[in-house]
Amino acid sequence: MEIKTIDQDGVMVLQLTCNLDGNTAPEAQEKIMPMLVAKCGLVMDLGKCNYISSAGLRVLLMVAKQVAAQSGKLALCGVSEEIKDIMDMTGFSNFFETFDTVPAAVEAVRKEA
C-alpha cells in the first residue's frame, strides 16, 4: 500500500495505490486521519485503487466525517466503474462528490473552500 501526498493549489491530493480492503484499511486510516486539519481541502485519487471492501468504504466515510467536522471539503476522483458500482449499491455514492480527473476535483474543492 502506498499513499502519496501532493499539494495542488492549496488542496491536498492523496493518491492511493492499493486495494482498500480489510488488510489495508487500518493502515490507510492510520496514515490519513492525522493529515486532516481544520478547513482542509482534500482530494482522494482512487485511480490506482482497483478494489474496495466494506472496510475501505468505512475508511472513506470516516475521512468524510472528519473533514466535514473540521469545515473542510472532500472530493474523490479516478473512481473505477467497479468501485462506483459498489458505492452505488451501498448508497455511499450519496456521500461523496466524484470527478473523473484530479484537476476537476481540485477545482471543485477550491471553489467550495
Residue 39, pLDDT above cutoff 80: yes
Q: How confident is the model at residue 1 (pLDDT cuts 50, 70, 90)?
A: confident
Residue 36, pLDDT above cutoff 90: yes
- Domain range 2-112, CATH class: alpha beta
Residue 112, pLDDT above cutoff 80: no
Where is 110: in which H helix or E strand? helix 102-112
Mean per-residue pLDDT over the chain, rounded: 94
Query: What does the pLDDT read at residue 111?
Result: 83
Q: What angle do CA 59, 51, 81 make, to 5 degrees?
A: 110
Question: What are the residue ranges of helices labelled H in 7-101?
Answer: 25-32, 54-69, 81-90
- 105: CB partners within 8 A, 6+ apart: 13, 43, 45, 75, 76, 77, 97, 99
* Mean pLDDT, rounded, for 63-81: 96
